[in-house]
């Protein structure tokens, strides 16, 4: 069973999803990869993980770097889980590139390379937006490439973290 709740953020309503003990999803409203696409039955429910996640989001949207993370669990392929784990290593207020993530994942898989497109595909399916910071991934040339929540939201999140100027 998957449980859901909502959170009103400054950049739109967020849907949070949990399997009970862990957060398994966090999406913007109307985001293509959303809880509506989960193949699990889900119900609106109050859970401690939701209260903890909302506290994290409150701090974050108030411009503070949270000093804790809600417990998360990735539901995806082994490759996606490797990529999403790498996203968790991107420090607050910094960026990395698809290429850099590809190099790290390739090393973990004992491969020479993995295409930036494969990495981009996995990043684009990140089920736990904001907390798993796919908004911190940019193109090798410094471009602000796509973001499942929309480029304007990516810019907003980067401004909160002072990655780009206000």
**Does residue 26 have a pLDDT over 90?**
yes
CA distance 72 to 114: 26
Active site residue 134: yes
Over the stretch 58-80, which tens digit does the pLDDT of each residue have? Answer: 999 999 999 999 999 999 999 99
137 pairs with which residues across the strands?
96
Q: Which of 24, 47, 49, 134 is catalytic?
A: 134
CA distance 70 to 22: 8
CA distance 1 to 101: 32
Q: Do 137 and 125 contact (CB within 8 A), yes or no? A: no
pTM of the complete model: 0.90
Secondary structure letter of residue 164 according to DSSP: S
């Amino acid at each position: 069973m998957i449980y859901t709740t909502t959170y009103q953020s400054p950049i739109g309503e967020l849907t949070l999803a949990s399997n009970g003990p862990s957060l398994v999803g966090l999406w913007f409203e109307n985001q293509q990869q959303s809880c509506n696409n989960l193949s699990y039955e889900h119900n609106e429910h109050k859970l401690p993980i939701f209260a903890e996640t909302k506290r994290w989001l409150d701090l974050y949207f108030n411009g503070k770097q949270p000093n804790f993370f809600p417990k998360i669990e990735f539901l995806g392929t082994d490759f996606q889980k490797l990529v999403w784990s790498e996203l968790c290593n991107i420090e607050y207020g910094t960026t990395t590139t698809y290429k850099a993530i590809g190099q790290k994942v390739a090393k973990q898989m004992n491969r020479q390379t993995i295409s930036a497109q494969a990495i981009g595909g996995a990043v684009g399916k990140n089920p736990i937006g904001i907390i798993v910071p796919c908004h911190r991934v940019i193109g090798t040339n410094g471009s602000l490439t796509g973001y499942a929540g929309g480029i304007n939201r990516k810019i907003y999140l980067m401004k909160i973290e002072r990655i780009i100027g206000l």
